Amino acid sequence: MIYIHIPFCKQKCSYCNFHFSTSMNFKDEMLDAMKKEIFLRKDELHNKNLQSLYFGGGTPSVLSSDEIKSLIDEVLKHFNFNNDIEITLEANPDDLNAQFLKGLSTSPVNRLSIGTQSFFDEDLKLMNRAHNASEAEGSIKRAQDFGFENLSIDLIYGSPTSNLEIWKQNLNKTIALEIPHISSYALTVEPKTALENWISKGKVSNPKEEEQNREFYYMIDFLKDHGFNHYEVSNFAKEGFYSRHNSAYWKYQEYLGIGPSAHSYNGNDVRSWNVANNQQYIKKLSSNTLAKETEILSQNDQFNEMIMIGLRTIWGVDLASLNQKFSENILDKFNKAIKNKIEDGILKIENNHLKIPEKHWFMADGIASDLFLI
């Protein structure tokens, strides 16, 4: 599978610490550099038949539909698409006008991930989103009118401007709009963001973990009652609408990342990442040089990653794979670490897979980190 990082946004969201630029001055040069990188790295994936192609960012929908098609065409020169390939485009509601959707509907893109975040203006203002509540709802309906049925939306809970009643209304609106996939995250205060600055100056109150916990577990019960499967801590889907791309990440499959700051993984012990600087990326590729760094993952790193990723999903950690991959010394430490957690009901073994019971999923990352090797 391939991930393409589009490093442009109209404006910076208050909570975001991803790599992007609000300047579009070098957009054409960036697209040329990405196409060059696709060509230079065409032999890195072992499987040339792609099951997924994902445009993330940044904001991929700041590109025109023709520019998106040109990147897809470049991928097609060097890779084959499975007949049922999933091609996802992340999009902001304010970009999903009729002209853009009409052009996109004639492209191979067959899945949209819409950065809705909330259907309430007060939440959106706090997040410094470029759209309002009306556009959030209208963009989804327009996308459906243009034939996009495989839709996912992002929702953020636990905001200082929200509460349980507002969160219930957000979820009810999602059901009413017949959206088959939801990615939902607690508002997190990341370093060096506007949100962190506002909180430090007392302009905004800190998100309350107790409220986030309450809204998280309400969401689980509510979405299950409406036919959703909770297949990863932050992801819910109707049957047949799981994100194929993200599921591949969570099952340790290889992937190729194109664009500034994008990461790649060979499915075993090699990870690489591109420089998180647009100008450096363009300059390197203009001289046919890859703008990436590579590391060989230690046994400890590989173990920690399998634990972290696996315990966030309904599939859990495959103990047979773990026993096959790691040394007796690592496995002895692991078995000692999980013993008390299993006795306390924080972990369970089911069909030879280690899992966190769903009632403890809000603390999944902390539970996983307790098992890490240092």
| Residue 164 DSSP symbol | H
pTM: 0.93
Share of the chain above pLDDT 70, in %: 100
CB 1 within 8 A of CB 245: yes
pLDDT in tens, 275-334: 999 999 999 999 999 999 999 999 999 999 999 999 999 999 999 999 999 999 999 999
pLDDT in tens, 43-96: 999 888 999 999 998 899 999 999 999 999 999 999 999 999 999 999 999 999
Can you tell me the distance from the alpha carbon of 331 to that of 299, in angstroms, rounded to the nearest whole number?
Answer: 11
In one-letter notation, the amino acid at residue 198 is W
Q: What is the pLDDT of residue 11?
A: 78
Task: Select the more confidently predicted residue: 267 or 347.
Answer: 347
pLDDT in tens, 118-147: 999 999 988 888 889 999 999 999 999 999
pLDDT in tens, 165-217: 999 999 999 999 999 999 999 998 889 888 888 988 988 888 899 999 999 99
Q: What is the pLDDT of residue 227?
A: 97
**Strand pairing category for 235-237 and 229-232:** antiparallel
CA angle 249, 255, 260 (to 5 degrees): 105
Q: How confident is the model at residue 354 (pLDDT cuts 50, 70, 90)?
A: very high
| In the chain, beta strands by DSSP E | 2-6, 49-57, 80-91, 111-117, 151-157, 181-186, 229-232, 235-237, 256-258, 263-265, 270-274, 292-296, 317-318, 348-350, 353-355
Q: Which domains does the chain have, with CATH numbers?
A: 2-249 (3.20.20.70), 298-374 (1.10.10.920)
Cα torsion for 354, 356, 171, 203, to the nearest 10°? -130
* 13 pLDDT above the threshold of 90: no
